[in-house]
Structures are given as structure tokens and as C-alpha cells.
A and B are shown apart, each in its own frame.
Chain A
Amino acid sequence: MVSLMESIVMNRTVGEVALSWGVGPEQAARRLRGVPFVVLAHGEARRGGRGRPGRRVTLNPRWRFSATAGRTPLARLLRHLRTLDRLGEPFAVGVPLTSVHARPFLHPRVRLLAPPETFSVWKRLFESKLGNLTVVVRLLPDDARTVNVEGLPVLDAPWAAVDALDEYATVRNVNVLALADWLAHRTAGLAEARAAEVGLEGDLQRLADHRRRGGRMNLRAEEVGRAHEVAVEWSRMPAGVRFEELVARERGRP
């Protein structure tokens, strides 16, 4: 299935997109009209061609997520992301959506991961600061895996552990480190190559095995201890709360 974002970059016709989706052009056009940043533009008529020129998938140059987010930015962002996922767009969500692997929590920065081919479009459309919520776009590594949770492509557990560690380096929310701790204990050894790529292998190993000493560490022992305490507290809570339940708090704001 062809990527919608890539189709925008390549300025493909609706017919080409329809073909890749295995639907008719009208059905494809209907789906595309549901994507707020897509405009179906009539290209220039080819010399010697007959009939109306094919409609092309183009980017609405004025659309920015920040301008349309309203009072419930997280809820709106998730709605857009679910639409893109349903259309088969390759991307992944990181912290805080990856907290669904443990106990869901909100966090002031949402990490989206986009493949290199469409990274610039993602960044242009979605990277923003909306009041107390920031959306950041990072590169999605080629071999990253995702699992679909609550209609979103969430980084799978080993990748999510490294993503959480990476995020903790920017915003020191202990829940994020607790998430990394939770995941590191359950996925020991599965993400070390990725952690090494971003210089976090020492921290990941320390979270997976608290007795470990030596190696390059960014985290302090106190931070690791506190994060582990929080993860243990979570383990005493029943699972089953969905991330979407927390997003409902945006609607209650006075």
C-alpha cells in the first residue's frame, strides 16, 4: 500500500492512489477528503490529452495542526493519527502513547516517528507547541516495529523502552523513566542495538538489571531507584485503563 504522505510528496494522481489502495477513484477521493491537510487539485492538461486532467493529491499549504487543534489538542491529534493509520500510512507513536504497554499516563510532549521519505511533511504538519502540549517529530528507524493499540501504531515494547529513555533526557518526568524501567525488565536484550545507536545502551542495561555497574551512564542511581519504585507501584494496579480514558480530561477543562 502506497503512503499518502509520499503520494503528496510525489504529487500522485487520485487514480494512482486508488490503484494502490485497491479501490475505485471515487472511493479514494472520498477517503482523501476526510484528511484535512489534503487537497485534490486538477493538474495541467497534458498536451494532446483528452478529457479532464487527473486530480492530484497535494498538500493544503495553509494547514497546520497547531492552527486547528482547538481546546482539546491531544484528542484532535489522536483523531488525525487514527485516520492516517486507517489509510495505511507508515509511522509510529512513542511517548506517551507507549505507556499503554504499562499503565497509561499523559505527558507534555507527544513523540511521533516518521520514516525518512515523509519526515519533512510530518514535521511541517504536526510539529508544534500548543499551550502546555508539544508535538515533536522524530525519525522512524527502518527496522522499528509497531503494534496496533487503540487504533494507533504504537512502538513495540523494546523500541518503546529506548524511546522513553530518549524522551526522559529532554523532559524529566519520572513516569517516562518508570516506563523505560518497566519495559527494560520485560524486554532485556531486545533493544540494545537500537539503544547503542542513540548512546543509551548503558542506561538501558542498568534499567534491565539494577545490579549492573560500569559502562556509560546518563542516569543517576537515585533516578533509577525512583523510577523502579514507580514501576513497582504500577504493577500493583490492575491493567485495563485505556489511554483514551485519560484524554477525556481535556474535555473537562474549564
Chain B
Amino acid sequence: MIEPPPADLTLQDATEWTIRALEDEGFPILLCGRGALDYQGEYTGSVDIDLLVGTDFRGAVSVLDAYQSRGDLDLGMGAEGVVRYLVRGGRPVDVLDVSSVHPRLFDLLRKRCSVPIPLGSAGEVRAVTREGYCVLAVMIGLRGFAARKRDPMGKVREALDLFGERVDRGEVATLLGTLGVRRPWEDLLRPPRDRR
């Protein structure tokens, strides 16, 4: 186990600390969500930090549970495949499992649409790119926790409104194709009432 998180910590400190706690046990992680894009020149509006765990999600959760027992973390309200931790009771870090969405999704994101970014005491951490964000959000909208929402692809459309001009849409289509998504992905994005 690593040392307890600092007493008066920021969201950035909480992110670095959680990443170190997971990497200390050898779990591959990816910084994802809008927070990951804010580190790459966007201003997208993330209010928390999302971490994607590559293998053995239950193992990762059990590691963090040990820190919870030590009093370093509290458990927040998550969703299916998402566990929210509140580092030192206040800074929200979500840990996500996408193995049930697609078994190859994490590897694809890590190998083909992520970049290393320097993250203080956590060192270099891989973060999903804009294309990676779109692939992940579409897949979660198709088969993940967002699939049961009223508008499963709402987040993808919002993201495209914010930074769509800087997204390589062809690359997103190719990546989704390798995950077995055959329909043109922009068709999937139509709001529910516009779909036939």
C-alpha cells in the first residue's frame, strides 16, 4: 500500500494519488472522460476524474477497498460498472470497468487512441484522445450504463458540439468498426425522437 493521501488535497492530488494506488498493484489504467481532454487543451466541463481499469476490475476495487478501510477513501454513489470514490471524503474519482461493454475496448483505447501526459507525482499517465473519448462514449451508449438512459448518445453529441471540429471522425469510424459496430456511428447519435 502507498502512503495516505495528503490531508488538504486538491482534485489533482486525489487523481495522482488514486492512480499511484492502482499502479502500485500493477493495474493498467487510462485517464478518460472529459477530464482527460482538459489535460489536452480542451475546456470541456468535467467535474470529476474518470479512470478506466484495464484488467481485473474486481481486483482493483478490492485494492481501493483496503484504502477505504484505512480511512483514505469514502464510497460515493456510482452506477453500473462505475465505482465512485471520494478521496479524503471530498474529491470525486470514478473508477470504470468496460470489460462487459467490449472485451477489447480497453486495449484498443490504450494502444490506438491515448497519449501520455505528465501528471505530477503519478508520472506519465496515458489519457484517451478526443477520438478515444468518442469511441468510449459511443460504446457505453450502445452497451454500457448509458444504454439505459433516455438519450444514450447525449454525451457524444455534447462532446462533438464542444470539440467536434478537432475530432478525426474517420478514425472514430475505423475504431468502432474494429469493435464490431457496423452502422455509421453518426447515425447512432441522433436524438431519440429523431430516430426511425
Nearest CB in chain A: distance from B6 CB, A: 13
* Cβ of B193 under 8 Å from chain A: yes
Chain B residue numbers with a CB within 8 Å of A133 are: 43
Chain A residue numbers with a CB within 8 Å of B71 are: none
Q: What are the interface flags for B111-155 relative to A under an 8 Å C-beta threshold, 1 for contact and 0 otherwise?
A: 000011111100000000000000000000000000000110010
* Cβ of B90 under 8 Å from chain A: yes
Per the 8 Å Cβ criterion, residues 28-86 of B in contact with A are 35, 38-48, 76-77, 86
* Cβ of A124 under 8 Å from chain B: no
Q: Count residues of chain B with CB under 8 A from any CB of chain A.
A: 39
The one of A106, A131, A172, A174 in contact with B46, judged by C-beta atoms closer than 8 angstroms, is A106
Contact across chains for B43 and A237 when beta carbons are under 8 A apart = no
A-B interface pairs (CB < 8 A), number = 99
Bound complex: CA of A141 vs CA of B77, how far in Å?
40
Contact across chains for B117 and A252 when beta carbons are under 8 A apart = yes
Per the 8 Å Cβ criterion, residues 50-104 of A in contact with B are 74, 96, 103-104
Q: What are the interface flags for A120-140 relative to B under an 8 Å C-beta threshold, 1 for contact and 0 otherwise?
A: 000000000001110000000
Contact across chains for B158 and A174 when beta carbons are under 8 A apart = yes
9 further interface pairs, Cβ-Cβ under 8 Å (given A222-B151, A253-B39, A254-B116) = A107-B43, A132-B163, A174-B158, A238-B89, A238-B90, A241-B90, A241-B91, A246-B46, A253-B41
Could you tell me which B residues sit within 8 Å of A by CB distance? 10-12, 35, 38-48, 76-77, 86, 89-92, 115-120, 150-151, 154, 158, 161-163, 166, 191-193
Closest 3 CB pairs of A and B: A175-B45, A105-B45, A106-B43
Could you tell me which A residues sit within 8 Å of B by CB distance? 74, 96, 103-108, 131-133, 171-176, 222, 225-226, 234, 236-238, 240-242, 245-246, 248-249, 252-254
